[in-house]
Amino acid sequence: MPEFNPSQLQYGGDYNPDQWSRDVWLEDVTLMREAGVNLVTLGVFAWANIEFAEGDYHFDWLDEIFELLHENGIGVDLATATASPPAWLTVKYPEVLPVTASGTRLSHGGRQGYCASSPIYRERAKALAEQLAKRYGNHPALKMWHVNNEYGCHNPMCFCDVSAASWRRYLRERYGALDELNKAWGTSFWSQRYHHWDEILPPRQTPDGTYPNPSMMLDYYRFSNDEILSLFTMERDAIRAVDPLHPITTNFMTMKHTKFMNYWKWAEEVDFVSTDHYLIADDVDNHIDLAFEADLTRGWAKGKPWLLMEHSTSAVNWQNVNLAKLDGQMLKNSLSHVARGSEGAMFFQWRASVSGSEKFHSAMVSHTGTDSRTWRNVVELGEKLAELSDVTGTDTEPAQVAIMFDYESWWALSQKNLPSDNIDYTHLAHEWYATLWQLGVRVDFVSPKASAAELSKYPLVLAPMLYLMSEQTEAQLIEYAENHGSLVVSYFSGISNERDTVKLGGYGGKLVREILGVFVEEFSPLLPEATQVLSNGMAAHRWSEVSEARGAQVLASFTDGAASGSVAIAKRQGSKPSWYLATSLEQQSLRNFFTQVVQELQLVTAGGNGVEVVKRGSRVFEIDHNSGTISF
């Protein structure tokens, strides 16, 4: 497997020269050199400018650009241009277009307008990837391959008949016998039993006020993820057959609400992880969100080099109000990623478009040109990255705390008919992460498949709302808590198995009942505006539950409502202490809770209260979000 081992930090962005005339290309390379750009991502959305009709390829402009970039010492991350099928393809084969859950076939005109199961899309995408690999696989400017773009961003699920056939094939493979599927989905409920495979449809829109079977829906998330991932591996293998030397990646999406792709799985298929991150402008703590996402990316990469493939120099174009970045914010954002292991800082995009729906998205070269704050920032960042080249190839110092992050729990909790609409998987994970960030405690991320041995590297493992818990995950967590370290587990964890079948005999399964020592018998979620003061004076919201301690020490109990007197916070002594949080603590209380945990476990802290301190290689990055100062 070719490795991604750059000799310097990568700097540049998406480059779309096909939107510009040749005289602009010359200015581009001059400016790229001025800014210290050493890598550009070429041709992400260029399919229609390369293939004019089926099999009618035009590479002249790409040939020229390759030469020009090479002459100027700029490397190429070549996209396979398959992210947006051209109009000729969807006119000739309209069945390529995706269909929504309510049966509407979408039109050409945006981007990513294809169904992942479409054999025609697959055939044409593979052919294009092969053509590009044959033509540019040996070009000295080529540094890496960039397959498609942000898979599943706009078309994470398709509900057409072609998808339905593929879905049935997937289910046959997963369950073998129809009876197994009926058992897994609990189809004795609401007359949902299947007597023949052909009766199974995708989870299309159901009558008002009802929703598809949740276990089926969960499998549709899995199927859709795997189907899209197989698009990637198809292109990857087509390139690899021609060019065995250059690493192949595809850019993941680390934005707060991108849930459809299970990147633990994707990370196993790419030669190296790359990702895109955009700030949510109206989130005042969006730098903490950035740190969360960068640490999560580092988790997927498992200590191997990864790359921030896109972020923005300033405003984006797709939020309600697209705030410009403050002075110094871009530098802080880029360095916060580099501190967490990114082998550089790349942007969308090099030069701001003048037409199309992204014309008001910031870029490295803005509409104003070089007489601008953006350009000065871009040149400054290029200088800093050059100064930092010694961190290239080094890892960030591992944290002492790990969050177990699980897409499948997120998928199950994204559905309807749960005890409350007021519980949110990623929200809770973010709250815990942010609290520790403010306490100066760094956090790594681990997959629910992590073994007890992997977990044992951490004195503390957190399981916020790990709703689905397979036997295997539960066994590893138990082994960890009994022999290696401390757990903090939240309410609504371990409720169902991987089929979303509820575990009987006390909610939370063996982990909560026997290891954490709390017997939970009924949920009692709180109304959105309700706050409850617990017996220890802490403030809680969103959740309570009727329970009793069976082995745990009760640190706080609920004081009101159906759960009055039940366990709110419990502690249990295993090899080390572990905690069960049966509610969502409000900000200050959560901080107090984690302060106690950190003190008791004697975890190392650095920075905190708005200051992040991250060690990478021989550098200590210190980014002070209060004063704006940065040192490294």
Kindly tell me the burial class for residue 107, based on how many C-beta atoms sit within 10 Å of its own C-beta (0-12, 13-18, 19 or more): exposed
Grouping H, G, I as helix, E, B as strand and the rest as coil, residue 141 is coil
> Amino acid letter at 463?
A
Q: Which two tokens stand for residue 613?
A: 């301190």
Q: Residue 617 and residue 614: Cα distance in Å, rounded?
A: 10
Query: Which CB, 197 or 360, lies closer to ligand GLA?
Result: 360
Q: How far is CA 600 from CA 481, 485, 556, 591, 609, in A?
A: 16, 12, 17, 14, 20
Q: Residue 391 and residue 385: Cα distance in Å, rounded?
A: 10
Q: Minimum Å distance from CB 276 to ligand GLA?
A: 4
Query: Which CB, 146 or 572, lies closer to ligand GLA?
Result: 146
Q: Residue 263 and residue 273: Cα distance in Å, rounded?
A: 9
375 binds ligand GLA (CB under 6 A): no
Handedness of CA 572, 573, 577, 578 (dihedral sign): negative
Q: Minimum Å distance from CB 150 to ligand GLA?
A: 5
Q: Which two tokens stand for residue 632?
A: 């490294």
Active site residue 150: yes
18 binds ligand GLA (CB under 6 A): no
Closest C-alpha among 302, 303, 249 to residue 276: 249
Q: Minimum Å distance from CB 361 to ligand GLA?
A: 5
One residue of 18, 95, 269, 358 binding ligand GLA per CB under 6 A: 358
333 binds ligand GLA (CB under 6 A): no
Q: Minimum Å distance from CB 354 to ligand GLA?
A: 16
Q: Which of 227, 235, 310, 431 is catalytic?
A: 310
CB of 467 within 8 A of CB of 412? yes
Query: Which CB, 347 or 579, lies closer to ligand GLA?
Result: 347
- Would you list the DSSP string of 288-308? HHHHHHHHHHHHHHTTS-EEE
Number of residues that bind ligand GLA (CB under 6 A): 9
278 binds ligand GLA (CB under 6 A): yes
Query: Which CB, 6 or 43, lies closer to ligand GLA?
Result: 43
Taking CB under 6 A as the criterion, which residues in 130-189 touch ligand GLA? 149-150
Q: Minimum Å distance from CB 322 to ligand GLA?
A: 10
15 binds ligand GLA (CB under 6 A): no
Handedness of CA 432, 434, 439, 445 (dihedral sign): positive
One residue of 51, 271, 276, 622 binding ligand GLA per CB under 6 A: 276
Q: Residue 135 and residue 129: Cα distance in Å, rounded?
A: 10
Number of helices (H) and strands (E), helices first, in the chain? Answer: 18, 27
Grouping H, G, I as helix, E, B as strand and the rest as coil, residue 27 is helix
Query: Which CB, 357 or 451, lies closer to ligand GLA?
Result: 357
Binding mask 307-326 for ligand GLA (x = CB under 6 A): ---x-----x----------
Active site residue 380: no
Query: Which CB, 66 or 278, lies closer to ligand GLA?
Result: 278
Catalytic residues: 150, 310
Point out which residues bind ligand GLA (CB under 6 A).
Answer: 149-150, 276, 278, 310, 316, 348, 358, 361
